[in-house]
Chain A
Amino acid sequence: MFADYSIFAMLAVAMLGALVSLALPRPRDVLRLIVAISAIELALAANLWASVLANGFVTAADEWFYVDAFSAFYVVVLVLVFLLSSAFAGVYFAHETGEHGFTLPVAHRFGALWLGSLTAMMLVLVSNNLGIMWVGMEATTLLSAFLISLHPSRLSLEAMWKYLIICSVGIAFAFIGTIFAAASIQSAGGVPADALFWTKLSSADVKLDPTLMRFAFIFILVGYGTKTGLAPIHSWLPDAHSQAPTPVSAMFSGFLLNTALYCIMRFVPPARHALGADFADGLLIFFGTLSILVAAGFIVFQSDAKRLLAYHSVEHLGIITLGFGLGPLGTFAALFHTLNHSVCKSLAFFAVGRLGQQAGSHDMHMLSGALRADRLWGIALLGSVLALIGVAPFSVFMSEYQLLRAAAGGGAWLVLVLFLAASSVVFLSALRHLIDMAFGDPPSPVRGARPGAPNGNSGALIVVSAMGLLLLLGVWMPVWFSGALGSAAAVLGPRL
């Protein structure tokens, strides 16, 4: 009901929240505000999703906003990740002291940029106009850059500068691609005024110039792919993820990368339409597989737990991209994997963040003996990393299994073999790291270590709900949920 208003409401609530957070008198209030805003957004997103599933789409503002089953699913995942990460921010920043203390100026900066990033990502997902989508994407880069260096230090500034420059250049490339896409419709005699609407570009009765569409898709894939973290243009990602405060790392990994991938996927239907399915799918499969292989190579040699998780993000975004290239079944699996990866990776970052606070370092040797040091986050680390590398009965296993079936069904044997080989490497090396971290002997305490800090109820609530969701979806997928994923997949290609 009133679903078109809920699009406006979602944007307005997040933006107002960003402004209000600047005026709050205490850091604690900012942390409460971001949880409250995320909870309101979740209710609005659920309402929007239900309405989209009932009616097929929701549109507002003269079709400038257009949400279909595909974007509605992304909106729900976005808000879920933000709710989890906002709740965790309350736990995390309560334990930060000294030069990393959560003082009032830091809290104001964090609240405004955090909710500002939420607004920008929301704008990307609900926009029908590819130009506005691009504006939103660039805005996420600019807003989130200072979240990485929330506490300016040499390392965080280095990570932030790399992120800023590499992603700005990447997104500039995406803009060239957007122009090519809009031009492809014009020179074939279409209507120029709405050439930038993706609903227009994907509609079957529009003729697209194949040469220009080919250029468009390559620029889009490289441009937005930079921000998705696809190899070999992922170089900013491990730095940014490892240096940012943990709630920010979780949000980057859990959703920011997916936003960029969403933008690429909006160009896939027109590319398939103009050039046939093989061109776009081939590129998606190539970059997806390459990312999985490159990430597997780096995961073996990591010593920093947050960098390890960052390379896992490269791997999993590669898996999702690969899935999108494997036809309707693969798309279904990729969407399911998007949700699983987002929840699972956020939880893994939370655990490493809290354990790292207690150990005074994110070095994996310093984190060893986590289960003894802190029962709650030790279990969270164990569970989330096991889920992340695809252990049954967690839902990540299910989505990867579906993806394998899609690859086998499509006869993509080479991809199947490469994927299995890389997954085995990741599985073994991540398991080795994990066993040391979870069951090893605790190291002698270092400066800055604060062992045994109380966690409170909200920490337990976060862990239980995230693990519960991963387990539940691993053993039982409700009919309405698989229906929702099916209609989201149908947006990108023929119906299942």
Chain B
Amino acid sequence: MPAALDSIHAIALVTCFALLGTSRIGACIRWLSLQGILLGLVPLITHDDGLGLRVMLLAGGNIALKGMIFPWVLLRLRARTSYPREVEPFVGFVASILFGIVALGLSVWLALELKPALPHAPFLMLETAIFVVSIGLFMIISRRSALMQVIGYLMLENGIFVFGVITVVETPLLVELGVLLDAFVAVFVMGIAIFHINREFGSMDVDQLNALRG
């Protein structure tokens, strides 16, 4: 099924670049939701030994959480807190897109390096995973709003999920569920934290969190 993987690869790249270049947080959350649904489909395609219950649960759980529940939580949080609806980057949008292009090149190179050690993993997905992880990290570092840091963290989770699916063929279901549960709790904990920060500081820009140094 390389055709389906091709499309997922292409659309995943688009979502990453869209997230790098979008200035409205609401739009970013919707792009994140698309990315979550898309990458949740990967286990359905890469598992050539039929669609067992495990794979269905894994894909369904991921799509439900990362494609729907998390974006919904983030949208609610955005509605509940008072702050500018813009992303407010430390690094400008043009520079961010340029970073994305460089990161894409590096991801291809790293995926080529890893390819001989991971012969079973589809190359395109390997590259997608590395790229999504790197963009997620970049979002955490380069955006001022705490909400955007959560979005970056979820991109990181998306990338790691794809990486896990294509490299480790048989992860026990218990472990998968544990990982999902952790992501679930993490989003809620971060949400509550943002709520407190917003109430205390009247804003959720992380550059105001600068009193503790040395």
Contacts and interface: CB of A to CB of B under 8 A. Distances in A.
Interface of A: 129, 131-132, 134-135, 138-139, 142, 145-146, 149, 152-155, 157-162, 164-165, 168-169, 172, 175-176, 179-180, 182-183, 186-187, 192-193, 195-196, 209, 211-212, 215, 238-239, 242-243, 298, 301-302, 307
Contacts of A152: 196, 200
- The CB with the most chain B CB atoms within 10 A, among A145, A146, A179, is that of A179
Contacts of B211: 154-155, 158
A175 B157 CA distance: 10
A212 B163 CA distance: 13
Contacts, number: 131
B1 interface: no
Given A138-B182, A169-B137, A176-B163, A187 B212 contact: no
Contact of A196 (B114, B133, B171, B181): B171
B214 A157 contact: no
B168 A157 contact: no
B140 interface: yes
B169 A168 contact: no
Nearest to A163: B193
A179 B163 contact: yes
A138 B189 CA distance: 12
Nearest to B149: A165
Contacts of A155: 211-212
Contacts of B102: none
B139 to A, nearest CB: 11
A179 B164 contact: yes
Contacts of B169: 186, 192
B175 A129 contact: yes
A298 B156 CA distance: 32
B119 interface: yes
28 contacts: A132-B178, A134-B179, A139-B185, A145-B189, A149-B196, A153-B200, A157-B209, A161-B193, A161-B209, A162-B209, A164-B193, A165-B140, A165-B149, A168-B153, A172-B153, A172-B156, A176-B163, A179-B164, A180-B167, A182-B167, A182-B168, A186-B120, A195-B170, A196-B175, A211-B116, A212-B117, A239-B212, A302-B214
Given A158-B211, A169-B140, A129 B197 contact: no
B57 interface: no
B133 A176 contact: yes
A135 B170 contact: no
Nearest to A149: B196
Contact of A164 (B157, B164, B189): B189
Given A131-B175, A196-B171, 5 more contacts: A131-B178, A135-B178, A138-B182, A146-B189, A175-B164
Interface string B21-33: 0000000000000
A307 B167 CA distance: 42
A57 to B, nearest CB: 21
B197 A161 contact: yes
A193 B170 contact: yes
B193 A158 contact: no
B119 A187 contact: yes
Given A159-B212, A242-B212, A211 B160 contact: no
B201 A192 contact: no
A179 B168 contact: yes
